[in-house]
Structure 1
Amino acid sequence: MNQAIDGAFSLRALDAAHDLRAFDCKRNEEMDTWLRKSALRSHESDVTRVFVAADANNRALGFFTLSGYCLEVEVLPNGDSKKLLSRRDAKSTVPAHYIGRLAVDKNHQGGDLGKFLMDAAFLKYAQILKLTTSSYLCLDAQNPGLVDYYKKFGFKPTPKEVSQGAPIPMYLKSSAIKTWVNALNSEGSHL
């Protein structure tokens, strides 16, 4: 599926035609290296799905990944974890999905591309929910500054303690994403 926004860029699953050589998110060299050297292999071997926003020349401007995930119930706040653990069929994990990576090239940061990528991730996740169950969409904020950014989309940090400098796990309930997607659809979203 190729989705375009104002002719400036399009979103589609990663393939060999994408030009990844110049991608530089400025903040995380490991992210850049992974995109160039490992992303296509991970995508083709079904480890993760990689979606790329590219310009008319197929240059990558931003990307995100989605993969299946099992969320440990004990990392959720007490209200959510107690509700899940009190069910008769309670398990210590619940089905979820994971945005393993999300990055925007340094030349396109500060604009709408990050929001476009998150909206696209929510739409892809909503499609997944039509096919199978998933209770949460999760991600790891790579630094404390990103926590506030992801909170704008409704993500909450888990109450689980993390060591200094470690990524901060965050989650969002599927019901919140369905509401977000319904709002996008009612606005006539460009996605």
Structure 2
Amino acid sequence: MNPMDVSADSLINYYARRDKKDGKWPDVEFAMRGVPGTPCCVQMSRGFCGAGLIVPSRSWSRATGKFPNGWRTFYSVDEVEVFLAEKYGDSDNLRTDENGKQRGAGAIKSMLNGIPGVLVMRHASIRKYPPPHKFEHTEIWDGQGFLQKDMAVDSLLESPYVKFWPDKTYGWISGPDSIDPSISDLA
């Protein structure tokens, strides 16, 4: 996969955090009014647009919403995943190693240590809708952990599908084990 052509710092600068509401949070409330969806996707979309990653008027499955300033927003994690995969190439599933063995949250954290980017954690494969009542999430990984500190990190990192797009400062990644093969067996 290719790295994103924006930096995590730029995404963070425009990202509206739920755990530290500031002047950016009203944009999320505006975009979510009357629309079912996942607030994390609206938060991420605000970060994308501010950093120069323009959200299109349509996702793979429906029209996107709008912020007060005209920027567009996704409403579901599958839309964020498809957007990133189409723009930068699909990510390998970090939950599964080259032998088909499931990695635990600790192994994934070790793999991503020091590498900022965007995580997508899902219960369905790309272009598939998740099972009912399954929580999916997208989050900025700041190189050490989730940007928002009030999340169930280990539980989310043990979702069936965990995908990652590094920021532009990291460079090319050919697969999850190319990050550091020595940690692929960590649980």
Radius of gyration: which is bigger?
1
Higher strand share: 1
Higher relative contact order (CA 8 A, sep 6+): 2
